């Protein structure tokens, strides 16, 4: 599954009045991950000139040298902050067109649309044949069974899964197998769905990564269902809804 922009507008406002200070490695990594995962298009530059200002209030990711400074600048410009994004030194915010004139004078590096992203079948993205097989065949092909024999079963390892959530199906329902982190999705208005997978993809991925039947043992690969790292723990970070929709800021927030 690949996440792609539901709206193609990815214009970015670059503030000429600020210099780009070197960012921490993790911030650069996040930028690279977001760029690769969401395949943004190249849109028109958002500037503070009247002809290029947005025509209506919309959601944006605002970046600067310091999250607190950016947050203050957004509030001073009359914007509404919806998320702190400390990992990139910024915030997600709802901005009116006039806010761009004010923010142009503040310590802001860039303003990028907080685009909606939707999940799509990766088969539509490439014509390259993809090898398929059963999970036991895949485990053998990547050498997982040999690693199990050496004691590398994922014990003590937490795998952060940024996806559609996880449902505690058999194999993922033992105590401590899934640790639920914050729910970053647009389904947070329904507490009964917090962290739960309403699409199916996250549960599928969690099962492949670390699922394990109660009676199964890495010492016997045929003893029951086991994922690639059957003793690992899944850290569930839900970002997407039943139709696979999320936002750029939700994914950045989960990475932080």
Domain definitions of the chain by residue range: 2-119, 131-255
pLDDT at position 193, please?
Answer: 96
CA 199/CA 48 separation, integer angstroms: 40
Please determine whether the domains at 2-119 and 131-255 fall in the same fold group of CATH: no
Q: What is the pLDDT of residue 242?
A: 95
Average pLDDT of the residues in 215-242: 90
Percent of the chain as helix, strand, coil, to the nearest 5: 30, 25, 50
Higher pLDDT, residue 217 or 16: 217
| Spatial separation of the C-alpha atoms in residues 132 and 125, rounded to whole Å | 17
For the segment 151-175, the average pLDDT, to the nearest whole number, is 96
Over the stretch 130-148, which tens digit does the pLDDT of each residue have? 556 788 888 888 999 899 9
Return the pLDDT at 36: 34
CA distance 143 to 222: 15
Residue 122 has a pLDDT of 55
> Which of 16-30, 47-61, 73-87, 240-254 shows the lowest per-residue confidence on average (mean pLDDT)?
16-30
Q: Average pLDDT, whole number, for the chain?
A: 80
The structure tokens listed for 31 are 């930028």
pTM score: 0.78
Per the model's pLDDT, the better-predicted residue between 30 and 8 turns out to be 30
Q: Which fold has domain 131-255?
A: Rossmann fold (3.40.50)
pLDDT at 113 over 80: yes
Beta bridge partners of 84: 91
Sign of the CA dihedral 99, 93, 30, 124? negative
Domain 2-119 in this protein, CATH class: alpha beta
CA angle, 116 as apex, 113 and 117 as ends, to 5°?
120
């Amino acid at each position: 599954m690949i996440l792609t922009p539901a709206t193609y507008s990815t214009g970015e406002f670059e503030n000429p009045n600020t210099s780009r200070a070197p960012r921490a490695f993790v911030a650069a990594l996040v930028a690279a991950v977001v760029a690769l995962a969401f395949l943004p298009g190249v849109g028109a530059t958002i500037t503070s000139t009247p002809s290029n200002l947005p025509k209506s209030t919309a959601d944006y990711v605002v970046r600067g040298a310091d999250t607190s400074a950016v947050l203050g600048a957004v509030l001073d410009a009359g914007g509404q902050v919806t998320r702190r994004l400390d990992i990139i030194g910024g915030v997600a915010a709802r901005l009116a067109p006039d806010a761009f004139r004010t923010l142009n004078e503040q310590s802001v590096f860039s303003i990028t649309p907080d685009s909606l992203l939707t999940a799509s079948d990766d088969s539509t993205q490439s014509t390259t044949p993809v090898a398929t097989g059963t999970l036991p065949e895949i485990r053998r092909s990547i050498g997982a069974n040999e690693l199990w024999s050496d004691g590398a079963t994922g014990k003590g390892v937490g795998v952060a899964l940024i996806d559609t959530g996880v449902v505690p199906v058999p194999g993922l329902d033992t105590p401590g197998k899934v640790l639920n982190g914050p729910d970053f999705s647009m389904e947070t208005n329904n507490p009964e769905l917090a962290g739960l997978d309403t699409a199916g993809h996250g549960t599928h991925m969690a099962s492949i990564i670390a699922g394990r039947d109660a009676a199964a043992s890495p010492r016997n690969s045929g003893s029951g269902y086991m994922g690639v790292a059957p003793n690992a723990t899944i850290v569930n970070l839900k970002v997407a809804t039943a139709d696979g929709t999320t936002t750029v800021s939700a994914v950045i927030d989960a990475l932080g």
